[in-house]
Amino acid sequence: MRAWPSMLMLGALLAGPVAAAEYAPLPGGTFTSVLPADGKAAPAKIAPFHMRTEPVTNAEFLAFVKAHPQWRRDQVAPVFADRRYLTHWAAPDALGDALPQQPVTRVSWFAAQAYCESEHARLPSWYEWEYAAAADATRSDARKDPAWRERVLQWYSRPSSQSLPTIGGAADVHGVRDLNGVVWEWVDDFNALLVGSDSRDQDGADKMKFCGAGAVSMQEKENYATLMRIAMLSALKAVDTTNNMGFRCAKPD
Protein backbone atom coordinates (compact mmCIF):
# COMPACT_ATOMS: atom_id res chain seq x y z
CA MET A 1 0.00 0.00 0.00
CA ARG A 2 1.49 3.32 -1.03
CA ALA A 3 -1.48 5.68 -0.89
CA TRP A 4 0.08 7.59 2.00
CA PRO A 5 3.62 8.59 0.93
CA SER A 6 4.18 10.43 4.21
CA MET A 7 4.25 7.07 5.99
CA LEU A 8 7.51 6.29 4.25
CA MET A 9 9.11 9.10 6.24
CA LEU A 10 8.21 7.56 9.56
CA GLY A 11 11.18 5.25 9.42
CA ALA A 12 13.47 8.25 9.79
CA LEU A 13 11.71 9.12 13.04
CA LEU A 14 12.13 5.67 14.51
CA ALA A 15 15.19 4.23 16.18
CA GLY A 16 16.40 0.70 15.64
CA PRO A 17 14.26 -2.37 16.35
CA VAL A 18 12.88 -2.72 19.86
CA ALA A 19 14.01 -6.35 20.05
CA ALA A 20 15.38 -8.89 17.62
CA ALA A 21 12.66 -10.92 15.95
CA GLU A 22 13.02 -14.19 14.08
CA TYR A 23 12.46 -14.12 10.33
CA ALA A 24 12.29 -17.18 8.06
CA PRO A 25 13.39 -17.22 4.41
CA LEU A 26 10.79 -18.04 1.77
CA PRO A 27 12.00 -18.88 -1.76
CA GLY A 28 9.17 -17.24 -3.70
CA GLY A 29 8.50 -18.17 -7.31
CA THR A 30 5.32 -18.40 -9.35
CA PHE A 31 2.13 -18.88 -7.37
CA THR A 32 -1.48 -19.43 -8.39
CA SER A 33 -3.39 -16.82 -6.40
CA VAL A 34 -7.13 -16.53 -6.01
CA LEU A 35 -6.50 -13.03 -7.40
CA PRO A 36 -4.77 -13.67 -10.76
CA ALA A 37 -2.07 -11.17 -11.62
CA ASP A 38 -3.75 -10.32 -14.95
CA GLY A 39 -7.30 -10.64 -13.63
CA LYS A 40 -7.76 -13.88 -15.58
CA ALA A 41 -5.38 -16.75 -14.98
CA ALA A 42 -1.80 -15.51 -14.81
CA PRO A 43 0.18 -16.69 -11.78
CA ALA A 44 1.71 -14.20 -9.39
CA LYS A 45 5.50 -13.85 -9.40
CA ILE A 46 6.92 -13.56 -5.90
CA ALA A 47 10.53 -12.61 -5.24
CA PRO A 48 12.37 -14.38 -2.41
CA PHE A 49 11.67 -12.69 0.93
CA HIS A 50 11.82 -13.19 4.68
CA MET A 51 8.74 -13.28 6.91
CA ARG A 52 8.42 -12.93 10.64
CA THR A 53 7.93 -16.43 12.01
CA GLU A 54 5.16 -15.32 14.37
CA PRO A 55 2.66 -12.47 14.64
CA VAL A 56 3.69 -9.44 16.69
CA THR A 57 2.60 -9.94 20.31
CA ASN A 58 1.15 -7.62 22.93
CA ALA A 59 4.48 -7.66 24.77
CA GLU A 60 6.42 -6.71 21.66
CA PHE A 61 4.05 -3.92 20.74
CA LEU A 62 4.11 -2.62 24.31
CA ALA A 63 7.90 -2.37 24.09
CA PHE A 64 7.46 -0.52 20.79
CA VAL A 65 5.06 2.11 22.17
CA LYS A 66 7.30 2.64 25.20
CA ALA A 67 10.24 3.29 22.87
CA HIS A 68 8.10 5.38 20.48
CA PRO A 69 5.45 7.14 22.61
CA GLN A 70 3.88 8.82 19.57
CA TRP A 71 2.21 5.41 19.07
CA ARG A 72 0.67 5.22 22.56
CA ARG A 73 -3.10 5.22 22.42
CA ASP A 74 -3.25 8.51 24.33
CA GLN A 75 -0.79 10.21 21.99
CA VAL A 76 -1.35 8.75 18.54
CA ALA A 77 -2.69 11.21 15.98
CA PRO A 78 -6.32 10.53 14.98
CA VAL A 79 -5.29 10.37 11.33
CA PHE A 80 -3.25 7.24 12.14
CA ALA A 81 -5.66 5.22 14.31
CA ASP A 82 -9.32 5.17 15.30
CA ARG A 83 -10.72 5.40 18.83
CA ARG A 84 -10.53 1.64 19.43
CA TYR A 85 -6.76 1.57 19.04
CA LEU A 86 -5.24 -0.59 21.81
CA THR A 87 -8.33 -0.10 24.01
CA HIS A 88 -8.08 -3.70 25.25
CA TRP A 89 -4.95 -2.72 27.21
CA ALA A 90 -5.40 -1.61 30.81
CA ALA A 91 -3.52 1.65 30.16
CA PRO A 92 -1.54 3.26 27.34
CA ASP A 93 1.61 1.65 28.73
CA ALA A 94 0.25 -1.43 30.52
CA LEU A 95 -1.32 -4.64 29.22
CA GLY A 96 -3.57 -5.55 32.14
CA ASP A 97 -5.54 -8.67 31.19
CA ALA A 98 -4.09 -8.77 27.67
CA LEU A 99 -1.69 -11.71 27.70
CA PRO A 100 1.88 -10.84 26.69
CA GLN A 101 2.13 -13.72 24.22
CA GLN A 102 -1.21 -13.11 22.54
CA PRO A 103 -1.02 -11.47 19.12
CA VAL A 104 -1.51 -7.74 19.41
CA THR A 105 -4.80 -6.61 17.86
CA ARG A 106 -6.75 -3.34 17.61
CA VAL A 107 -3.84 -1.84 15.70
CA SER A 108 -4.26 0.24 12.58
CA TRP A 109 -2.43 -0.29 9.28
CA PHE A 110 -0.39 2.81 10.06
CA ALA A 111 0.68 1.50 13.45
CA ALA A 112 1.52 -1.92 12.04
CA GLN A 113 3.61 -0.39 9.28
CA ALA A 114 5.43 1.85 11.75
CA TYR A 115 6.23 -1.14 13.93
CA CYS A 116 7.61 -3.06 10.95
CA GLU A 117 9.76 -0.08 10.02
CA SER A 118 11.23 -0.22 13.52
CA GLU A 119 12.45 -3.72 12.58
CA HIS A 120 13.76 -2.42 9.24
CA ALA A 121 10.94 -4.33 7.62
CA ARG A 122 7.48 -3.72 6.14
CA LEU A 123 4.10 -5.40 6.02
CA PRO A 124 3.97 -8.31 3.56
CA SER A 125 2.17 -7.87 0.28
CA TRP A 126 -1.05 -9.81 -0.27
CA TYR A 127 0.70 -12.23 -2.62
CA GLU A 128 3.49 -12.82 -0.11
CA TRP A 129 1.00 -13.47 2.67
CA GLU A 130 -1.22 -15.74 0.57
CA TYR A 131 1.84 -17.67 -0.66
CA ALA A 132 3.18 -18.20 2.86
CA ALA A 133 -0.24 -19.15 4.26
CA ALA A 134 -0.66 -21.92 1.68
CA ALA A 135 2.03 -24.07 3.33
CA ASP A 136 1.75 -26.82 5.88
CA ALA A 137 4.40 -28.77 7.79
CA THR A 138 5.71 -30.62 4.73
CA ARG A 139 4.43 -28.80 1.63
CA SER A 140 4.82 -25.27 0.35
CA ASP A 141 1.32 -25.46 -1.16
CA ALA A 142 -1.20 -27.65 0.65
CA ARG A 143 -4.32 -25.94 -0.67
CA LYS A 144 -5.56 -28.94 -2.67
CA ASP A 145 -5.63 -31.14 0.43
CA PRO A 146 -9.22 -31.36 1.78
CA ALA A 147 -7.95 -32.02 5.32
CA TRP A 148 -5.80 -28.88 5.24
CA ARG A 149 -8.69 -26.81 3.94
CA GLU A 150 -10.99 -28.16 6.65
CA ARG A 151 -8.52 -27.22 9.40
CA VAL A 152 -8.25 -23.69 8.04
CA LEU A 153 -12.03 -23.34 7.70
CA GLN A 154 -12.60 -24.44 11.29
CA TRP A 155 -11.11 -21.17 12.48
CA TYR A 156 -13.87 -19.20 10.76
CA SER A 157 -16.52 -20.98 12.83
CA ARG A 158 -14.92 -19.82 16.08
CA PRO A 159 -16.98 -17.09 17.81
CA SER A 160 -15.33 -13.69 17.43
CA SER A 161 -15.84 -13.09 21.14
CA GLN A 162 -13.64 -16.05 22.05
CA SER A 163 -10.32 -15.19 23.68
CA LEU A 164 -7.38 -15.13 21.32
CA PRO A 165 -4.91 -17.99 21.63
CA THR A 166 -1.26 -17.35 22.39
CA ILE A 167 1.26 -17.69 19.60
CA GLY A 168 3.50 -20.71 19.19
CA GLY A 169 1.69 -23.09 16.88
CA ALA A 170 3.44 -25.72 14.80
CA ALA A 171 5.89 -24.41 12.21
CA ASP A 172 5.20 -24.91 8.53
CA VAL A 173 7.73 -26.10 5.96
CA HIS A 174 9.25 -22.60 5.86
CA GLY A 175 9.48 -22.26 9.65
CA VAL A 176 6.55 -19.80 9.86
CA ARG A 177 3.83 -20.22 12.49
CA ASP A 178 0.23 -19.17 13.09
CA LEU A 179 -0.63 -17.81 9.66
CA ASN A 180 -3.99 -19.56 9.79
CA GLY A 181 -6.23 -19.89 12.81
CA VAL A 182 -5.06 -17.14 15.16
CA VAL A 183 -5.85 -13.62 13.88
CA TRP A 184 -6.55 -11.73 10.70
CA GLU A 185 -3.40 -9.97 9.50
CA TRP A 186 -2.77 -6.65 7.78
CA VAL A 187 -1.01 -6.67 4.41
CA ASP A 188 0.77 -3.77 2.81
CA ASP A 189 -1.51 -3.48 -0.23
CA PHE A 190 -4.82 -4.21 1.52
CA ASN A 191 -6.47 -1.28 -0.22
CA ALA A 192 -5.88 -2.90 -3.62
CA LEU A 193 -8.23 -5.76 -2.69
CA LEU A 194 -11.52 -4.39 -3.91
CA VAL A 195 -14.99 -5.86 -3.48
CA GLY A 196 -16.67 -5.81 -6.87
CA SER A 197 -19.69 -3.49 -6.97
CA ASP A 198 -21.86 -2.68 -3.97
CA SER A 199 -22.03 -5.63 -1.58
CA ARG A 200 -25.81 -5.45 -1.76
CA ASP A 201 -25.82 -6.12 -5.50
CA GLN A 202 -26.51 -9.64 -6.68
CA ASP A 203 -23.15 -9.81 -8.43
CA GLY A 204 -21.36 -8.15 -5.56
CA ALA A 205 -22.54 -10.84 -3.17
CA ASP A 206 -20.55 -13.62 -4.78
CA LYS A 207 -17.84 -11.92 -6.83
CA MET A 208 -14.71 -10.04 -5.83
CA LYS A 209 -12.37 -8.08 -8.03
CA PHE A 210 -8.70 -7.32 -7.74
CA CYS A 211 -7.84 -3.78 -8.87
CA GLY A 212 -10.98 -3.84 -11.01
CA ALA A 213 -9.71 -6.64 -13.26
CA GLY A 214 -11.08 -10.18 -13.41
CA ALA A 215 -13.11 -11.91 -10.73
CA VAL A 216 -13.10 -14.92 -8.48
CA SER A 217 -16.13 -16.83 -7.29
CA MET A 218 -17.13 -17.05 -3.64
CA GLN A 219 -18.63 -20.44 -4.50
CA GLU A 220 -15.18 -22.03 -4.89
CA LYS A 221 -15.20 -23.78 -1.54
CA GLU A 222 -11.46 -24.49 -1.54
CA ASN A 223 -10.79 -20.74 -1.67
CA TYR A 224 -13.43 -19.72 0.85
CA ALA A 225 -11.05 -19.03 3.74
CA THR A 226 -8.78 -16.89 1.57
CA LEU A 227 -11.72 -15.01 0.11
CA MET A 228 -13.01 -14.29 3.61
CA ARG A 229 -9.71 -12.57 4.36
CA ILE A 230 -9.95 -10.55 1.16
CA ALA A 231 -13.47 -9.46 2.09
CA MET A 232 -12.32 -8.44 5.57
CA LEU A 233 -9.31 -6.48 4.36
CA SER A 234 -11.13 -4.76 1.51
CA ALA A 235 -13.73 -3.45 3.96
CA LEU A 236 -11.16 -1.63 6.11
CA LYS A 237 -9.53 1.78 6.10
CA ALA A 238 -5.94 2.28 7.18
CA VAL A 239 -7.01 3.91 10.48
CA ASP A 240 -9.37 1.08 11.41
CA THR A 241 -8.74 -1.34 14.25
CA THR A 242 -10.61 -4.54 15.09
CA ASN A 243 -10.63 -7.13 17.86
CA ASN A 244 -9.07 -9.77 15.63
CA MET A 245 -6.76 -7.87 13.27
CA GLY A 246 -3.06 -8.30 13.98
CA PHE A 247 0.04 -8.33 11.81
CA ARG A 248 3.51 -9.63 11.12
CA CYS A 249 6.35 -8.13 9.11
CA ALA A 250 8.37 -9.11 6.04
CA LYS A 251 11.70 -8.16 4.49
CA PRO A 252 13.12 -8.50 0.99
CA ASP A 253 15.67 -11.24 0.51
Residue 4 predicted with pLDDT over 90: no
DSSP string of 34-78, one letter each residue: SS-TTSSSPPEEE--EEEESSPPBHHHHHHHHHHSGGGSTTTS-T
* Amino acid 36: pLDDT: 84
Model-level pTM?
0.84
pLDDT value of residue 200: 33
Is the predicted pLDDT of residue 248 greater than 90, yes or no? yes
pLDDT for residue 222: 60
pLDDT of residue 192: 87
Average pLDDT over the chain, rounded to an integer: 83
Task: Give the model's pLDDT for residue 160.
Answer: 64
Judge whether 151 and 144 are in contact, CB under 8 Å: no
In three-state secondary structure terms, 59 is: helix
Q: Which of 120-124, 212-216, 221-225 has the lowest mean pLDDT?
A: 212-216
Q: Identify the three-state secondary structure at position 184.
A: strand
Q: Structural domains in the chain?
A: 25-252 (3.90.1580)
